Amino acid sequence: MSADTVGVAVAQFGPTADTEANLAQIEDFVRRAQGRGAQVVLFPEYSSYFVDPFDESLARNAQDVDGPFVQALTAIAARYDVHVVAGLLERGTDGRRVHNTVVAVDARGLRARYRKLHLYDAFGQRESDWVEPGEVAEPETFDVGGLRFALMTCYDLRFPEVGRVLADAGADVILVAAEWVRGALKEHHWRTLLTARAIENTLFVAAADHPPPLGVGHSLVVDPQGVQVAAVGTATDVAVAHLDVDAVARVRRVNPALALRRFTVRPRL
């Protein structure tokens, strides 16, 4: 593989209420992805702990970002010399609700954290009954091999302002950890929105979902022109894409949409 590429893997699996089993699956996929050249491995939302439907066990099983789950991810990242990005059930502030958080770690520990901003109070669901929204803050990013990575979670994909803020923070790649719930047209929405966020921001988008029966699956990597470059179907599996470090700059020279726009994004407080 070229020295001018960065290997990014999307790992699709269905987390359970057994955190140790989730970590075993994560390590297996990291080992497989690293063997195929991955330097960044992305896992789904709620990778540390998941139950359906949600119940009081979420708060009991939530952890801090320096807790055992993130420590275990850091150890895995160190063993395989990669960055691991995964969903964490993080302790909230009121003792009843939790934060739906994505963490990025390497061998040194935490590199970036993202708390889900928009909660899934839609399509008959009420995530806000169990989860606190994250505060609007400056994006946390990390760099690997000449590319800057930023984080996003699931339902935030439906809000184009989130992707635009990450692009303005210098992101070349947006990593989306998701549990995109199945339903009428949901797979179509998933693919369309991932592609739109890539095209409108002229950057890469990589997304990891839960497989059926709860998620739609179809974890994938999309390039800055909206072309799918790697994907998983509906199985528990991992796919690796080798991202051209120069692709974002090359596409933006031809399509300078970000530079030509006349609007900025301001938070609604």
Is 187 among the catalytic positions? no
**Catalytic pick from 45, 90, 127, 132?**
45
**Catalytic pick from 90, 154, 179, 187?**
154
65-69-74 Cα angle (round to 5): 85
Other Cβ atoms less than 10 A from the Cβ of 25: the count is 19
Tokens representing 66 are: 């320096």
**Catalytic pick from 116, 127, 179, 187?**
116
Helix (H, G, I), strand (E, B) or coil at 41: strand
Helix (H, G, I), strand (E, B) or coil at 129: helix
Is 116 among the catalytic positions? yes
Nearest CA to 69 out of 134, 22, 30 is that of 22
Report how far residue 260's alpha carbon sits from residue 263's, in angstroms, rounded to the nearest whole number: 9
Report how far residue 52's alpha carbon sits from residue 256's, in angstroms, rounded to the nearest whole number: 43
Report how far residue 242's alpha carbon sits from residue 239's, in angstroms, rounded to the nearest whole number: 10
Is 200 among the catalytic positions? no
Which residues are known to be catalytic? 45, 116, 154
